Amino acid sequence: MIQRASLHVEVADGSFPHEKVVTFLAGAQKYSLFVDERDVNGRSIDVAVVAFNGDSVLIDLPSDTFTSGSRVWVPRTLLELDSVAA
Amino acid sequence: MILSDTEIIAALENQQIFIDPRPTPDKITTSAVDLTLGDTFLKWDFDLGSGISFSVDPAAIDYPQLAAKYLKSMPIDEHGCVIVRKGEFVLATTAEYVRLPESSRLAARVEGRSRLARLGLAVHLTAPTIHSGFRGRITLEITNQSSLPILLRPGSSICQLII
C-alpha cells in the first residue's frame, strides 16, 4: 500500500485551458509544476509518500517540477497524511 | 517489458492504467495505445523588437512567469486546425487524460507515428518518458522538420503510448 497525502499549494492558471500551475515552498526552495485542473482539490494536490526523515517527507508529485524532477523533500507541515491506497 | 494489447486491455480493466476518454478497441494496437491531439496550440513568441537581446537560463527561470508572458495561443482555422511551418516549434497536448498509479509500477513512453515522422513531424523533444505516478494530459513538443507546411487537426491520431 502506498501512503497518500494532500500537499498544500498555491494555484494559478496554467498555459493550457485544462491545466493549473501549482507552487509551494519547501524551506527556501520554491517549486512549481503544471497539473491538470481535475487534480487540484481547492488549494491542495494529491501526492504519494515515499519516505520520512525527521520532519521532512519525500513525496512523488504528479509531474516534474521546473527546477527538479517529480520526487522532492517537503516539510511535513505542508502535508495532510492519509493512508488511502493509490 | 512492453505490455501487449491484451495486457493493456487488462491493465485498463484493473485500473492499473487510466485513460480518459477510454481508448476504443481500434486505438489499441499490438503493443501501444494511440492517443489523439488536443485542441489548444501554443507557440513561444520572443519578438522583443530590434536591439534587445534575450536568453533563457533553464536553471534560474521562473517558467510559469516566462510562459505567461511569451507563450501565445496559435491562430486556428474554422475547423480548429493549425498549420505548422518549416522549423516551427509548437506545444500541444493529447486530448486524453492519462494516469499511471504508483501502485501499478508502470511507466510509459510517448512516441510518434511513422506516417507523421515520414512527413517530418516530431511529437516530442527528448522528453518521452511518462513516469509511474504521472497524472495529466501529455504535453507534446511538436516540431516540423520538413519544408512542407503540416496541418494539425484536433482529434487526429498524433502519438502512441508504449507501456
- Compute the distance between CA of residue A31 and CA of residue A47 in angstroms, rounded to an integer: 14
Residue B141 is a catalytic residue? yes
Does residue B69 belong to any structural domain of this protein? yes
- Which of chain A's residues have a Cβ under 8 Å away from the Cβ of B91? 15
Task: Kindly determine whether residue A17 and residue B63, on different chains, have CB atoms separated by under 8 Å.
Answer: no
pLDDT in tens, B29-72: 999 999 999 999 999 998 777 777 778 888 888 888 899 999 99
What single-letter DSSP state applies at residue B113? -
pLDDT at residue B116 in the model: 94
- Put simply, whether B71 touches A (Cβ < 8 Å) is yes
pLDDT at residue A54 in the model: 95
Give the closest residue to B140 by CA, choosing from B163, B161, B122, B117. B122
- Compute the distance between CA of residue B134 and CA of residue B115 in angstroms, rounded to an integer: 28
Bridge partners for A75 per DSSP: A56
CA distances from residue B119 to B7, B90, B127 in whole angstroms, order as listed: 31, 16, 21
Q: Which residues are CB-neighbours of A46 under 8 A, at least 6 positions away?
A: A4, A5, A6, A7, A39, A62
B70/chain A closest Cα distance in angstroms: 10
Residue A85 belongs to what H/E stretch? none
- Which of chain A's residues have a Cβ under 8 Å away from the Cβ of B97? 36, 38
Mean pLDDT by 10 residues, chain A (86 residues): 94 96 94 96 96 96 92 96 64
Does residue B55 belong to any structural domain of this protein? no
Q: Output the domain CATH number for residue B114.
A: 2.70.40.10
What single-letter DSSP state applies at residue B58? T
Could you tell me which chain B residue has the CA closest to the CA of A45?
Answer: B135
C-alpha cell at B59: 536553471
- Compute the distance between CA of residue B95 and CA of residue B54 in angstroms, rounded to an integer: 33
Task: Kindly determine whether residue A32 and residue B38, on different chains, have CB atoms separated by under 8 Å.
Answer: no
Give the residue-averaged pLDDT of B26-31.
Answer: 96
- N-terminal to C-terminal alpha carbon distance within chain B: 8
Q: Give helix then strand counts, H and E, for chain A.
A: 0, 9
Name the domain count of chain B: 1
Q: Tell me how crowded residue A42 is: count the other CB atoms within 10 A of its CB.
A: 9
pLDDT in tens, B71-94: 999 989 998 999 999 999 999 999
Does residue B52 belong to any structural domain of this protein? no
Task: Kindly determine whether residue B136 and residue A21, on different chains, have CB atoms separated by under 8 Å.
Answer: no
Residue-range definition of the domain harbouring residue B64? 5-47+60-162
Does residue B91 belong to any structural domain of this protein? yes
- Compute the distance between CA of residue B97 and CA of residue A18 in angstroms, rounded to an integer: 10
Task: Report the residue from A16, A21, A35 with minimal CB separation from B40.
Answer: A16
Question: 3-state class of A38 per DSSP?
Answer: helix
pLDDT at residue A86 in the model: 44
- Say what percent of chain B tops pLDDT 70: 100
C-alpha cell at B133: 505516478
Task: Report the residue from A12, A16, A86 with minimal CB separation from B103.
Answer: A86
Task: Report the residue from A32, A38, A70 with minimal CB separation from B97.
Answer: A38
Does residue B98 belong to any structural domain of this protein? yes
